[in-house]
Structure 1
Amino acid sequence: MSSFASLLADVRSCTLCAEHLPLGPRPVVQLHPQARILLAAQAPGRKVHETGLPFNDASGDRLRGWLGLSRESFYDPELLAILPMGFCYPGKGKSGDLPPRPECAPRWRSALLERLTDIRLTLVVGQYALAYHLPEERQGVTQAVLNWQKYWPTVVPLPHPSPTNNGWFSANRWFELELVPLLRERIAELVAE
């Protein structure tokens, strides 16, 4: 078994799907073996690709608000591991970014997850992370989020915080009224540990 540092270096230098990436490879992850919270996301957007900082965009602002975390806490790898399903920006599609590249998760995900041995809460963000982490939730993101109590307090399915989902948030006001306050409390407990 390779060391965590060696594995992370291999991830950061990955070019597995370079020929399919419009801006070239730039794996964006945030990992530390002592992280207590895992953020299982989809794939970096263009702005994240440019800066190399995960959730460094409007989606990240909304997500940090949901979690009640400052930027400093959010970007503390010993608190929060950020492991998207695809590590590089996949490019633009007709209605937003393309799905995460399919090569990434099979190549890296298991090896990384097995080294994150102190995770106490997994936040599953969006449909691609949901399919991997909660495969029994086959009726979509909305139904999975409605079923959040089945997984509480160790796993929380979340909609993607993208501004393109504003319609979802308008139609599902319960999410920010009921689930978000409980999620903030749970995060605060883990920050205090």
Structure 2
Amino acid sequence: MKKILLISAYLISISCYGQEKLECHEKINKQLFTESRDTVMEKFNIEEFNKHQKNGSWTFKKNNEKYFLTKLQDEYWVEISTKHNPFILKCNYYSNGNIKLKGLIFHGNAFTKGVVVDYDKEGNIIKQTDYDAPYKSFPWEKVKLWLENRKVDLLDPFTRVWRENENNRPIWYLSWDTKEQDKYGNKIIQDVELDGEKGKVLKETTHTFEE
């Protein structure tokens, strides 16, 4: 796959459409240029980061987007979240500013969605991992609809979605705040396991959470 060469940018942002696909932007000299979907800037602007960082981090908001940039040991990390999207775009960069990996993660460090691309220090793609592959029969889009039919708020911090594929048996694990309380005033959290092939409910329980 031919590597896309991009100029280091001051800001990056995302807007998500349909099935959480990415449309990434670069702001260069106050002009906004749109790149193709599933593309993110390939080089981290270390100089600009150093101008704004405090204690190794830089956080700011732009429109409906929140940016968190930080340096950890010999890497730079970027997280971009949007107001109405449950997924966070995460990008790691090498110490030279070149992209290391990028991917989408459901909020709360839950499941990784789609293809995660890994790069070497020169910016060449070395690996692409499709995390959706085991769940093609019952993908996130169907899980999303299943949750929305039950009036689950996907953006609620208590809404968790993760998945596992052990012994070629894909399972979705879901939990959310029922907005009800037990007699002690604790939140009642609903827990559901869905079969990752047919969407059948395998297990349904509740637990309580004390704030």
How high is the TM-score relative to the length of structure 1? 0.27
Query: Quick check: which one's helix share is greater?
Result: 1
Query: Quick check: which one's strand share is greater?
Result: 2
Q: Which has the larger radius of gyration?
A: 2
Structure showing greater relative contact order (alpha-carbon pairs closer than 8 Å, 6 or more residues apart): 1
How high is the TM-score relative to the length of structure 2? 0.26
